[in-house]
Amino acid sequence: MVYKFYRKETGESEEVEKVRIVWRAISTTGETLSQYEADGTFHQIKEINQKTLAKFIMEDEEIGRKYELLFPKGATLIHKYIHNLIYQDNMLKEKQTIFCFGYELNNQKTILAIYPNGNINIVDDFSKIKIM
């Protein structure tokens, strides 16, 4: 399925491909915002109302695993993809993505890194995420 993102700045829609691990944000009122909606709409992280964010979920649809993070009041959401390109004999052999999410509260970070094989690593700084 092709998803569409409406860019307010330009007034145009862009096509977006679905990634393996997708996010869902649940507010304190129970409202849900999904990265990829059933109607084909794509949402960006900046659309999440962090003041009412109660739970942030990353779901690996390939292996059927969910990673849920309860969101403390006053925290700031952290979300980042780390792309790792593996070369062999000067040829691109493999692309790997490490999906990272978490929060920062009182100058302390809690980051959950999800590796391509489904393993996770919880760190307090992006520099501590090991590239495999």
Structural domains counted in the chain:
1
Give the DSSP letter of residue 19.
P
Max CA distance (Å), the chain: 53
Residue 15 structure tokens: 């096509």
Q: What is the DSSP string of 52-69?
A: SEEEEEEEETTTTEEEEE
- Cα gap 29→78, rounded to integer Å: 21
Total Cβ atoms within 10 A of residue 98:
20
Domain limits for position 47: 3-128
Q: Which of 3-12, 13-22, 83-92, 119-128 has the highest mean pLDDT?
A: 119-128
Q: What is the pLDDT of residues 67-76, one digit of tens each?
A: 999 999 999 9
pTM for the full predicted model: 0.83
